[in-house]
Amino acid sequence: MANEAKQTKKLTGIERTAVLLMTLGEQDAAEIMKLLNPKEVQKIGEAMAGLGSVGRDTVDDVLSEFCDTVDEQTALGIGNEEYLRNVLINALGEDKAGNIIDRILMGHDAKGLETLKWMEARSVAELIRLEHPQIISIILSYLESDHAAEILAALPENMQTDVLIRIATLDGIQPAALHELDEMLEKQFAGNSDSLKSAGMGGIKTAANLLNFLDSALENQMMEKLKEADEELGQNIQDLMFVFDNLIDVDDRGIQALLREISSENLIVALKGADEEVKEKIIKNMSKRAAEMLRDDLEAKGPVRLSEVEAAQKEILSIARRMAESGEISLGGGGDDFV
């Protein structure tokens, strides 16, 4: 029993979700999966495939934790948009809730846009590359930042900076523009288009989040071009970008929560290229034994390609941003080389 409880505590949030869905049966699990976005479906599917055998006590602990969480929630359903807005604003604050609300409300009707979330980045880029840059900027503002970053990188180089500037300076989207966009996509996917609501998407923070997901070399190249085109705008975007060294600004509780969600191997590779201050921030939030093991692993790890370090750091940052968006933590900041 003790070993099973210990095993449960080692499960990440994604793995606990996988265990929960596996207990529901295929039909109910499938209905829930329909409500998730592509990235969530992929991560949960990978967790299911990698779980192996799960003991009864582990399942009981996961179900008990889920029931405790449900008990803390209100039993009232969300019946209208005004109620939804008030609940989310009170829970998350106006700035954070605004984008989520717009996505929820617009997502009911924007079937063409929703289809893009399930498409491979290069396919989306091929589909939209001949559209007006303003239309492209609206599409990328609607999609998740990591997906949008892949699409931006796949667009012709001569239009990337223009699109990024339009994203950063996008101040909401008018219903007519959304309607035009959805009609264009509906023709591609043979769907139905209804009237769409105005959404407050785009802006400097959206552009900064998108850049965070780009390959480091492309990110630096685009930032340089952006500052050449508009130095003030480029600096404002850069100020909002959250990089690995900004983890120093996350509080201790946030670091501890983040450590529970990332793998040891990924952490070791990421820390090979981190500042000493960041390493110490991570280590001081681990148990004495875990900290000693991490130090030993870092010393024993041979040279690592800079590209591998950057990939590991971006994966950790992706988890950190996801946790920040869900309110679990608060973020404090905005080649062949070897390290």
Task: Please state which CATH number belongs to domain 109-240.
Answer: 1.10.220.30
Tens digits of residue pLDDT in 175-201: 666 667 777 777 666 543 333 334 455
- Who wins on pLDDT, 334 or 209? 209
| Amino acid identity for residue 141 in this structure | S
Residue 111: the pLDDT is: 63
Residue 197: the pLDDT is: 39
Residue 99: the pLDDT is: 52
End-to-end CA distance of the chain: 44
Query: Of the spans 3-17, 89-103, 216-230, 275-289, which averages the highest pLDDT?
Result: 275-289
Residue 192: the pLDDT is: 37
DSSP 268: H
Whether the domain at 109-240 and the domain at 244-325 fall into the same CATH topology: yes
Residue 282: the pLDDT is: 92
Q: What is the average pLDDT value for the chain, to the nearest integer?
A: 75
By CB atoms closer than 10 A (0-12, 13-18, 19+), residue 309 is: buried
Residue 79: the pLDDT is: 45
Residue 126 clears pLDDT 80, i.e. is over it: yes
Residue 285: the pLDDT is: 92
Q: Which residues contact 28 (CB under 8 A, 6 or more apart)?
A: none
Residue 127: the pLDDT is: 83
If you average pLDDT over residues 263-282, what whole number do you get?
Answer: 89
Task: Tell me how crowded residue 30 is: count the other CB atoms within 10 A of its CB.
Answer: 11
Q: What pTM did the predictor assign?
A: 0.43
Residue 74: the pLDDT is: 47
CATH among 3.40.50.1820, 1.10.10.1200, 1.10.220.30, 1.10.150.20 for 244-325: 1.10.220.30
Residue 69 clears pLDDT 50, i.e. is over it: yes
Any idea which residue has 């029931």 for tokens?
67
The residue ranges of every structural domain in the chain are: 2-71, 109-240, 244-325
In this prediction, residue 40 has a pLDDT band, given cuts at 50, 70 and 90, of confident
Residue 223 clears pLDDT 80, i.e. is over it: yes
If you average pLDDT over residues 25-53, what whole number do you get?
Answer: 78
Dihedrals φ, ψ of 305, to 5°? -60, 140
Residue 335: the pLDDT is: 40
- Please say whether the beta carbons of 278 and 247 come within 8 A: yes
Count of all residues that appear for the chain in the document: 339
